[in-house]
Every structure is written in C-alpha cells, then in structure tokens.
Structure 1
C-alpha cells in the first residue's frame, strides 16, 4: 500500500492522495484577475491526479502583489473570476486551495521575463512598499515601516481575502509566511528591527503571523483546513532558524493552523543554499518532530520513489512539488503507475493506466 497514494483528512476535507501542487506564480494576471491561462494551468493538474491544487500567491491587497501581474483577492470581481477555476479543479476530482499573500518589501517588482529588474517605478505601474522596518531587499527600493494601524489593516485584508476565497469555492486556505514576503519579514531578525511588540523576541516577531492565523480561522470556521507556509531557515547567519520554525509551527497549530508547509529561503539576496534532491526534507522533519505537528515537504522532489520514501521515513505527512508538475502535469498518474498504486484515472486516460 503506497503511503503517497493513501488518503488524508484535514477537518472536513479528504484528499485523495498526498502528492500536491505547490502554489506557483504565473505573472499573468490583469488587475489582479486570473485569466484563461490560470484556468488551464490549474485544471490540468487536477486531471493529472493531484490530491490538492494550490493556486499561486494571491495578494490580499493591491500593494501586496509581488508584481503588477500577480493575482489578487481584494475585490469581488476577482472572487468571481476564481469561481470557474475552482469548479474546474473540483470537476476533475482534486481539492482546491489558494495561497493568501502579502509581498511586503519584495512587492512592486518586475516579473521574471521582463527586460528590467528590481522595483517597478511608480510611473510604470509600481507602488511604494511596506515592511516591518525600512530595510530594503538588495536591489529593491526601500520600504516604509508599517505603523500599528497598517499592521491592523494587513490582518483585516487577510481575513477579507479568506472570505472571498471561500465564497469562490476554495476548500483549503494557505497563509504565505515564507520566501521573504511580509509575514516572513516579521519573523526574521534580518529584516525585522522593530523595538515594539512586533520585534525583538521570537514571540513578538511571530505576533503578526499568529494574528493573521486567528483572523483567517475566525473567518473560515471550524471545517476549513488551514495551511501555513514557512521558510524554516533564511540560509544566512543571524536569520530565522529551523528550531525557531518548529516553535512557530507549534504556535501556529495552537492558533488554528492544521498543517505547516515547510520551505526555506527567499529573505535575503546573500543566502547560501546547497541544492540537491530533497534538500528541504530535513527541515520539514525538524519542524515536524520539534513542533509535534503535521508538515509537508517540498524542494526538488521529482520522482515517485523519492516522494514515497520521504513519507515512509516519517519526515513529512504530504509532498508538495512545483517544477515537476510543470514538466509533467500528470505527475501523480505517472507516480501511481510507477508505484503500482491502484488509483482512479480519468476515463479519457484509462488506456494509459497499465501499459
């Protein structure tokens, strides 16, 4: 019996397997609105057997977008544009999730294939950014330090976006606290130099994340699974550590999170990452064991046997993948075939099931 293709239940939602699609930014939205690209992009993973399909980092406020081409959920028109996409994921048997995000000091940047780099000027559609402290990410414009009112507004924006996501039909919500974006910026001493109740100690640095979890859980009620993505290390001296991540993960579950999605990095340009297959699995195991909480692993997990082994060894409870899904939108069906797992295939694909 394959663990990877065994079901998993979180609150009222059952996932048909534990091979999930990570949120991946497409930089293809218009005024925060997902397009036909997003519909096709996300629905194909559900056809390909994914247990959970998580839509890309979606901004809770206009100034929270990574780039002017990011998706959003700060108005009802965006909510309505997501609805048919969610329906397409459901129609193909997968659970639909969305990652709610605020980019903080890493907002208002050019998309990856643009001719320019760094911050987008206001005249070209950019905007002023915010952060816990007025410390710029290397190569980007300096942000404005959030005052308490601004912090309160961020919490309210996450809650409002969560309500719109649920109204659009999403089954699962994920809070983005990783990759150097706003909530991660508060967690790390490398970007958080505050001396008030949101800076200094780990408890203070985690305060905004926990407030956001509280607000989203209050909006979602008791039935909706809530994931939190964290970067378990900054890969830089003096930064956020795996041991701190385990503590914060434990606090997150006490405040209503169900699952910690363990990633790493993204906070500083001088990070030093040793890349190899499954390079973040040990971080997931540290958070899982230290916090005594369920976690997912992600990061260059590209083969069925590799994913199965991560679960069998107890390092994680589910697998997120990104690039491998882009290379093969039917990754789960291929993995099931390779592992000999008896899973449901779309009727249109049955001819490829065994031979």
Structure 2
C-alpha cells in the first residue's frame, strides 16, 4: 500500500498535475480513458528524437542500431513484466483496438459457418464490433455471456454456453465502465475444457494489477500504453506461440516479409510477421520506460492503494441523496460510475469541469452495459495511484455542489 508521502512524491513526477483548469487546480479523474505521463517517460521521448531517431531493423548505421536495441529492449521489458516465455510473443501494435483486430482478422481464415464465439455483456465496443464483423464474414454465431445487477458475469450461464462448437471466448480483465475484475484464470480454464481459445482485453487491468500471463493461461492478451503512463498510439498483443504461428498476417508490407517476388511472398518470423511497416519506434521505447516506471513503484502497492481509494470515494459519494453507483461487484477497482436521480450525467460532468475536475460522461464505449441498466450513460470517475484522498473529498464536494445547482 502506498503511503501519503509516497503519493506526494509520485505526484511531483507528473508535470500536468500542477496545471490549472478554469482557475482551479486540475483534478484528473479520467484515468480509465488515458493516464497521465511522468517525467521519466517524457524524457525518454525527448531523448529518442534528440539523439537516435531512425528506422529500426533495417539499417547498419549507428542511429538505426541504437534505436533497434532500445526498441527490442522495450519488448523484453514487456515480456518480463507480463510473465511471457519469449519476447517474440509480444507484438507491438497501435493499441488494444488494433490488437483485437489482428486476432479477428486472422480468425476469419480459421472459422466456419456454425462455429460459435462468446463475448461478455460488459465489453468495450472494441471487443464487440470486430467479432460481429468476423461473424458476418464467416457465418459464425456470436453469443453473449450475461451479467447481473452488480456488474458481475454469470459464470453458470457462461458454463452453459460453452460447448464443442465454441471456438473462441472474449472478455475484459477489468470493465472500463464498471471496474469489475473478472475471474480470468477460472474462465480461461472453463473455455479450454471445450477446446476454445481465449482473448482477454487487458487495457484496464494492466495499469492496476500484477498480470502474469503464464499463470492466467490466456491465449491472447492486449494492453495499451496510454493507460499505463505511456504515450498514445502504442500497445501490445500477447499470443501463445502456436496461435501466432497459426494466424495469417493482419496486413502486408515491409518488415513482415522474408522474401518477395511477383510470384510469391514468404512471411517473416515472429514478431515481425505482424509488424508491417515502420513501427511507432519512439512509442515502443516509451512504453517500456512507462512499465519500468510503474514497476519502480510496484504494481502490488499501486493496486492496493487504488482499491482503498476507490472504496473511500464510493462510500463518500453514496452519502449524496439520490446518487447511485453502477457496478458493485465484490471484486472491483479504480472506477466509479454513478448517476444522481433526475439529473443527466452530462450536466454533472460539465459543472465538474468548471471546478477543474476532469471526469468522463456518456456510455464509455460500452453501450450494452447502459442498455442493461436502462440509462443513457453515467458519470465515471476513474482513479490512478497519483490521486489522493483529498482529491476524492474534492470530487464529492464538487458533485454535491453540482447537484445543488441543478436541482
């Protein structure tokens, strides 16, 4: 658990936290969308463009070799961080959406009409739409794992859906809209009993939990750097080697080839098979720096602190008359989605912005969840390890003030 003085020291690493918004100190609570970036990562980005900006893997000159070494070192950092056997099982992508689409595209060559794929009811649109498109291409059938009022997946219903026709299962590790932490290892084991492969959207979990992919047993796992104190436009796809070898490439171009003639092209070995074109070199290196920064603090300490902070803020918010929190799973973290009876979430969010408080409003790219609760959206306050108990109190005071102004 992080101590108060540790959090204050951490806050000093984030220049943006000293900014003013509408004449008020910034209170940033939109971390589920994008986390803020520490000086260590900013300096890494500046250093890259200042000293060794170059294409990688292709050049014999010093800058190219320096950039290549730094890029591959970042891959190795992610390999170690996520408990992966081999570095080539980490594919650099532009983010979680890109990662999911790589798998969806590859699976179109492996599925047939009548095959079944399962997706959970609490997914981000990026873990729904690609599978719908896949079903349209292949004739496979998409089925939904239901959830209950607390925002927990119904594991009995999940078990009943699994059968010999089930080829793949998709669900998030943590819900971006509710904060629910799903039982990944258990769900993976259940899917593997019927021979189904599993892709887990780890975009919301990777910033908050110690994630060991070997222990979880997943076949595919995704993460985005911009939710882990890194830059936007870079992420990763992990895949078991047998699956990465089986899937055809997502796109063609330079880097992902072994040999090209006008008669035939042979593909490069992993990971380059899935990394066509010039990659986001700086982004990959900065992703590695962000992971190192978070590890210097400790993901276990980060997760424990955020869980307690989220619990504290939830208890305080529930003291406001008419306020309801959506997502009350026993195992949850970092996210509080709420509404106040009779008030639109957009109006509350707009007033909070006038107070310098940044939250997200709307359906959070998880419209099926909002349809389940029969609401247009929620106010979402999402916490990170650089947020404080004093900021939680300021959020509560801000919501109460907004309610008083709107009622």
Larger radius of gyration: 2
Report the TM-score range of the alignment, normalised by the length of the smaller protein: under 0.3
Structure 2 length as normaliser, TM-score?
0.24
Structure 1 length as normaliser, TM-score?
0.26
Higher helix share: 2
Higher RCO structure, 1 or 2 (CA under 8 Å, sep 6+): 2
